[in-house]
């Protein structure tokens, strides 16, 4: 049985906020994420789910602890590169540039990375493939503000996939969407993970959590449970 290297490894992650009063949100979180896994982070409101997701996604610094992405320690020196090359983000509120077109929004990560994005470039071709994947080819020149909520979320997913990251991090990605659109977005995320990638999803949805290969439960700032779904074992390589 081969031993896999984790795509992400978090070691003794602590997070304390000093203001308006001292509050220890995360207390020594240890987590390893492997290729093929879809991980749901669950727990009551205020348990630190989004804070943990932001730390795992390098959007926020832990008070103490270490984070490794693709076996590379995250530091001030490499965090921008790792974030741009290894990670993709999907947020409940979409975070699109409303006055930009669908295509411009999808290409935004490449533009930030100073990669050529003109028609005919690799980035543009990749964006066109993603537009087809999410069913929005006919909307590519539309302003983002003209899209429905479901369409905006599909643009956000295409944008997250653009740089072919190792890990997608999603915070309540379908919380405001109808059941049919939610199911389609879940399939996109699961299909992404099945390609040797991984998805980490904060959710209040029991249904979505049950569809993931693992469920991480936070309670009191600690990892209270880490369970694998029996029905999903064959979706990942057993380590």
Q: Give the pLDDT band of residue 175 (cuts 50, 70, 90).
A: confident
pLDDT at residue 130, as a whole number = 94
Report pLDDT digits (tens) over 54-79.
999 999 999 999 999 999 999 999 99
| Element of type H or E holding 27 | strand 23-33
Q: Give the pLDDT band of residue 234 (cuts 50, 70, 90).
A: very low
Residue for token pair 């309540």: 172
pLDDT at residue 236, as a whole number = 41
Coil, strand or helix at 224: strand
For the chain, domains (ranges, CATH) are: 8-96+166-235 (3.40.50.300)
Q: Give the pLDDT band of residue 12 (cuts 50, 70, 90).
A: very high
Q: Is 38 a residue whose pLDDT tops 50? A: yes
pLDDT at residue 18, as a whole number = 86
Q: Residue 135 contacts by C-beta under 8 Å, 6 or more apart in sequence?
A: 154
> Strand runs (DSSP E) across 118-206, as ranges?
167-171, 198-202
Q: How far apart are CA 67 and CA 73, in angstroms?
A: 6
Q: Length of the chain in residues, anyone?
A: 239
Report pLDDT digits (tens) over 101-155.
999 999 999 998 888 999 999 999 999 999 998 999 999 999 999 999 999 999 9
């Amino acid at each position: 049985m081969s031993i896999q290297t984790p795509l992400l490894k978090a070691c003794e992650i602590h997070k304390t906020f000093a203001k308006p009063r001292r509050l220890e949100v995360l207390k020594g979180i240890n987590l390893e994420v492997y290729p093929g896994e879809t991980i749901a982070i669950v727990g009551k409101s205020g348990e630190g789910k989004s804070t943990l997701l932001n730390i795992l996604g390098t959007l926020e610094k832990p008070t103490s602890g270490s984070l490794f992405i693709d076996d590379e320690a995250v530091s001030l020196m490499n965090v921008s590169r790792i974030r741009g090359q290894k990670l993709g983000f999907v947020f409940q509120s979409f975070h699109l540039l409303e006055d930009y077109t669908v295509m411009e929004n999808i290409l935004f990560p490449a533009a930030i990375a100073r990669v050529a994005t003109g028609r005919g470039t690799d980035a543009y071709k990749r964006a066109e493939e993603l537009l087809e994947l999410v069913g929005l080819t006919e909307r590519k020149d539309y302003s983002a503000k003209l899209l429905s909520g479901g369409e905006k979320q599909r643009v956000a997913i295409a944008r997250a996939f653009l740089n072919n990251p190792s890990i997608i991090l999603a915070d309540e990605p379908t919380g405001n969407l109808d059941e049919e659109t939610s199911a389609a977005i879940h399939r996109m995320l699961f299909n992404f993970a099945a390609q040797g990638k991984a998805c980490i999803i904060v959710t209040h949805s029991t249904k979505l959590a049950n569809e993931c290969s693992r469920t991480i439960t936070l309670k009191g700032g600690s990892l209270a449970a880490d369970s694998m779904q029996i029905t999903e074992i064959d979706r990942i390589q057993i380590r």
